[in-house]
């Protein structure tokens, strides 16, 4: 229903938590405990975020995860992308041949533009922003200027 997966929500909460103390090393167990979410689930998410190179890891006793970049250098779009794959509102927004309506479809390119706007909006919000109690309303200066 045009919403992010619950796991993605968890992931952002995890990342924001870590963004509050960057450089610090968090174990999966510790994070799961703080968050109140089962440990295996948290572990899986952290692995995904690691593969996307948003986290760095240390194995062994006393190991754990830490942010790979500064909090302001990681965007919400990065986190969403790491868990859900590339952002594509419509089937046809990701490459050709995915949508059965392609031939003669009038909405494809316009959807792609909407898609791009969403991506930009998510890229504009960093973990550092999310860690603040409340960020300013995002202002969408929308297309009152349209094609002729």
Query: Nearest approach, Cβ of 90 to DNA (angstroms)?
Result: 10
- In the complex with a copy of itself, the residue whose CB is nearer, 21 or 58, is 21
Is residue 147 involved in binding DNA (CB under 7 A)?
no
Selection from 18, 7, 24 nearest residue 85 by Cα: 7
Quickly count: other Cβ atoms within 10 Å of residue 134's Cβ: 6
Is residue 31 involved in binding ligand FES (CB under 6 A)?
no
Residue 112 structure tokens = 């792609």
Report whether 67 contacts 74 (CB < 8 A): yes
Is residue 107 involved in binding ligand FES (CB under 6 A)?
yes
Q: CA–CA distance from 64 to each of 60, 61, 67, 133 (Å)? A: 8, 9, 11, 26
- The single residue among 68, 108, 114, 123 that binds ligand FES, judged by CB under 6 A, is 108
Selected range binding a copy of itself among 41-49, 50-58, 59-67, 115-123, rule: CB under 8 A: 115-123
Is residue 23 involved in binding a copy of itself (CB under 8 A)?
no
């Amino acid at each position: 229903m045009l919403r992010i997966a619950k796991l993605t929500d968890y992931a952002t909460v995890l990342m924001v938590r870590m963004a509050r103390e960057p450089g610090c090393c968090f174990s999966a167990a510790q994070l799961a405990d703080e968050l109140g979410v089962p440990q295996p689930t948290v572990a899986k998410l952290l692995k995904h975020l690691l593969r996307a190179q948003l986290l760095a890891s240390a194995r062994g006793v006393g190991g754990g995860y830490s942010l790979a970049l500064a909090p302001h250098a990681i965007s919400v779009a990065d986190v969403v992308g790491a868990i859900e794959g590339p952002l594509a509102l419509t089937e046809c927004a990701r490459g050709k041949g995915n949508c059965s309506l392609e031939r003669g479809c009038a909405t494809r390119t316009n959807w792609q533009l909407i898609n791009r706007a969403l991506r930009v909006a998510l890229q504009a919000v960093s973990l550092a922003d999310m860690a603040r109690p409340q960020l300013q309303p995002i202002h969408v200066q929308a297309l009152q200027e349209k094609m002729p």
